[in-house]
Chain A
């Protein structure tokens, strides 16, 4: 009986490696993108593009965004900018009047009298206007604070000449200047989550999500989607991505097409943004229940590899908590297995951490120069310490030291799950007014990875409780700069 329980606990410990191995599998595909990519099908194609920027109180950023868009390297007169003003109460209308006078015939102000319904409703207002005449051959959906590098539009449209392609998304880089610990963590996360993961998804042939900050669609694709985007969920970008692919049109990521955005610089704003994203992903999981692990529905999105990838991210906190429960159970039922099982778990974690961190830094050397410290601190100092402890050979005495201190042992065994509420506490401390230096010290100890898991767990709880689905906009202040 005890043996069976210990075996179950050992199994639970290794459930904790599923998200890690999922990420590893994805990273192993990145290199293939050097051989298997869409560049062979690219031609010099410059369709007329309508940019749609939803804006609610974006007076601090919208002027700079428009100025940068007007500097694009693209045939004159072949792009227009539509700002959909969601009944802003700040200086947005005044900035728009100035920009329309500065760029006549290129910049348009679409004002909604009643706002506050969320980004998707605002975008749909813009889409209805743009699709009302036949000028636009492609539609760029973006955020009001996103800064385009001059060649980004050309890099995106070159894929659209292929009739199989419905949409292309760019690489959004974190560009806050001067930035802080949180924005640099996000900067590194975007290398792994976009520059790496989305290249791997290109290879797989199924993209999980196009960035809401920069996605271009052919007119055909937008019209096939009904001329509007989903308004029922918090993940309208992912809905659009899935529906495009389910409609038989390819979605692509171009890692060389770069835009810059301002991301949250406080845990409060971070939590609000990520909770929306994570809840959106859960809503997608529910909305497409007939798709997962069913290749007959869609050979790529319904494939085993994509399903495993999707759920290993969505259910990551549950895997980690189960792993901690298994480790504690193992400690009481079969201590020797606990040591071996947990050494194996942390050994896998260490190998994957080293590979992903070093490879991610090599993928984007520009961001690596800014974020390499955060890259190495990503799992948190406590996890790094545990990793180094558990790869020590038994003869170093680490086992004996741990055996002599059950509290320390239990803490270490359960840290993989315990780090999630610990990260939540760091967030709560900031909300309660803790100084930024204390927040940063604690964040470095606990880690940014556990913080992401904590948000995912909160999202699971919120969806479980059917919490209100409302659009919490993150505030942008104009701190983003392009690194030229």
Chain B
């Protein structure tokens, strides 16, 4: 059996290359053999040991998932099989059960419903309120640079959801079994610890099969 991990970044829209870079850095730091690729087709998704849904616009990603034949089904299959998935910012929104926009309210957008959370989009305001600050993340430490760009936050989380980090009373990182969601962009901070946490999940699941 091939022991090299294969992780995909959903390559429809957003900061795809930045997640590829962060994952490669994490592989190197962990001294692990792994490959990270951009994926846009159903058949590519089914080979993966882990999937990252990047930052970008959640409405756009949802639309492109729905428009490509078979893509939605293959992402759902990955989630059902318990293959680790991490969503950063827009990626977390796409994974959520419910979402609404702070200003506009409900938007009819495709959500995967895998993370038992309700998300408020643009929760910290518009771009001029976007910010960076240090975060305390369980399992990582208190010095993780959080990059929040028109970021969402988690308004409510179901009983199976572990809260990894809060900022200003708002939930900004969660984990539910093999799914991780963050309001911020770990791929932009130059710190690969969040991606390492994700790769550990990917590696553990692969070893147990």
Real complex partners, A and B? no
